[in-house]
Amino acid sequence: MPRMRCVDAAVAILEREGVDTAFGVPGAAINPFYSAMRAHGGIRHILARHVEGASHMAEGYTRAAAGNIGVCVGTSGPAGTDMITGLYSAGADSIPILAITGQAPVARLHKEDFQAVDIASIAAPLCKLATTVLEPAQVPGAFQLAFHLMRSGRPGPVLLDLPFDVQLAEIDFDPDTYEPMPVDKPRATRAQAAKALDLLERSERPLIVAGGGIVNADAAGLLVELAELLGVPVVPTLMGWGTIPDDHPLMVGMAGLQTSHRYGNATMLAADFVLGIGNRWANRHTGGLDVYRSGRTFVHVDIEPTQIGRVFPPDYGIVSDAGAALAVLIEVARERQGAGRLSDRSAWAQQCRDRKRTMQRRTHFDDVPIKPQRVYEEMNKAFGPETRYVSTIGLSQIAAAQFLHVYGPRHWINAGQAGPLGWTVPAALGVCVADPEATVVALTGDYDFQFMMEELAVGAQFNLPFLHVLVNNSYLGLIRQSQRGFDMDYCVQLSFDNVNSPELNGYGVDHVKVIEGLGCKALRVFEPDAILPALQQARKLLAEHRVPVVVEVILERVTDIAMGTEIDNVVEFEELARSAADAPTAIALLD
Ligand SMILES: Cc1ncc(C[n+]2csc(CCOP(=O)(O)OP(=O)(O)O)c2C)c(N)n1
Ligand SMILES: [Mg+2]
């Protein structure tokens, strides 16, 4: 039996489980693991500038492609605590990442050693498994279980904490005969599919709500197949955006309080039946449950049994992997179609399409300073269906969901539930590592950008080119807007007179100088007609230099973006589109 250090066994298992990349920050307590990566030679390591950055890179890497598992590595103490936000964000969105941390030697765990913190306890509520491995011979089993758990049921993160002496201890282990554990996923039965379709058949105005579970199951194709077979329109959630292309006739808009379309909410309110697949009835999607549920029958399909009934009791619940459920729904629906037992839904689908065509928000403004709506119009012109957008939080993200177009799963990569500021830059780097040839476009406000802009140096060092649209209103815009309810504008200003850059006229941080200082390229735009040429120029710079390129758009400081407290009372702050000229890149043009 081969004899090796635990860390050598761990790295061999990573390889056998399909891992070839790790994002991390070394430190003394994790150096044995780094020595094993070095000896193995098959794991590419991306050196983050902040351990939280490494955790979000791992998330971006996982979210970019089916089957990927991002790995982040750090030392003992603060490295693990820095990863906590990434573990939260990953767990909240059902994203598997593996966090590996160093730890003080076993005998010293209780002695308040330097950088010895009980990271397993801290991370436990966020993870499917968080454990300090105390016995060397348990290390292979811990890694094997980690991958099994991350992939089974509702996917999610795992933290493995490795004491220094455990890392170095020798064990007997045979990498050649190592085998990943089988993955457990519940599957809907024919009887369950038939029952769901019976309920749907009894309705007149049915919808499918398509959640991120469909992305995780890599089942967007099956979703579109089922929708087309039934003729039933689809409302994707924010995490499910892209499961049906925006220009598909059955994509009838997103519903919700913020990241939603006017036509999506109107269609949800008009519906009498909802089949939710791989979604979790997020509160920013539903708003108040009285309005959302009123007069509607709900079927809920989720891979995790405890999700059924968590937010509200559905009329019928099915525990199933989204892909497995879609497959059996298609099977039963096809048989019913053959027997002439499917209703014709075309009149209802046409009503939904009419709303999509007519209920547009205006994007075409010529104002200087630039109104944010115009930025998305120009982005729609500049970026094609292959574009993979990465965004997180803020007015910029909300407006992006209202105005941009997404055409495929994993083309809108977003920290949906946690919304941690700073996520966008490192997540975009993770996407670039996973898909080096992709057109990756990150989008942030100025504050999200400032949270973790140091990670741009990682893009410069490792040649990870993405285009970053930085919309600068010199405000914590979303919080400024929500402070309207308190009649205040308090602690939300980012503006100051920059003594080094008077040309910024009080907009504070000189992002261009920072970006260039980090080894990346930057362009700054003040006028709406300059946005598109800048985006085109940025694409050239990306190709030429293979480093992140940021286009900073100086915005009007105060622009409120449509949002509300219920899906039937979303407040519009701007004029609506009256003709195609008001919304020239809208997905379904007005007449
Ligand atoms: C770690 C963290 N702290 C605070 C918040 C609350 N928050 C949400 S959006 C926002 C302001 C975002 O400002 P910016 O990135 O400039 O975007 P804008 O809304 O101006 O477009 C804040 C503070 C958060 N999401 N995450
Ligand atoms: Mg801002």
Atom from ligand 1 closest to the CA of residue 420: 26
Q: Which of 93, 206, 205 is nearest to 155 (CA)?
A: 93
pLDDT bracket for residue 587 (50, 70, 90) = confident
pLDDT in tens, 317-376: 999 999 999 999 999 999 999 999 999 999 999 999 999 999 999 999 999 999 999 999
**Res 589 pLDDT > 90:** no
pLDDT in tens, 506-542: 999 999 999 999 999 999 999 999 999 999 999 999 9
**421 CB less than 6 Å from ligand 1?**
yes
pLDDT bracket for residue 395 (50, 70, 90) = very high
Check residue 130 and report its DSSP letter.
E
Q: Are strands 412-414 and 388-391 parallel, antiparallel or unpaired?
A: parallel
Shortest-distance ligand to the CA of residue 422? 1
User: d(Cα 34, Cα 31) in Å, to the nearest integer?
Assistant: 5
**509 CB less than 6 Å from ligand 1?**
no
Q: Which of 131, 27, 122 is nearest to 83 (CA)?
A: 122
What percent of the chain is helix, strand and coil (3-state, nearest 5)? 45, 15, 40
**477 CB less than 6 Å from ligand 1?**
yes
Distance in Å, CA 79 to ligand 2 centroid: 29
The predicted pLDDT at position 590 comes to: 61
Q: Region 493-499: what's the mean pLDDT?
A: 98
- Considering the chain, what is the average pLDDT of its residues? 97
Q: Which of 253, 243, 248, 245 is nearest to 212 (CA)?
A: 243
The predicted pLDDT at position 588 comes to: 78
558-571 b/e (C-beta count within 10 Å ≥ 16 → b): ebebbbbebbeebe
Shortest-distance ligand to the CA of residue 559? 1
Distance in Å, CA 213 to ligand 1 centroid: 26
pLDDT in tens, 241-294: 999 999 999 999 999 999 999 999 999 999 999 999 999 999 999 999 999 999
Q: Region 221-234: what's the mean pLDDT?
A: 98
User: d(Cα 453, Cα 318) in Å, to the nearest integer?
Assistant: 43
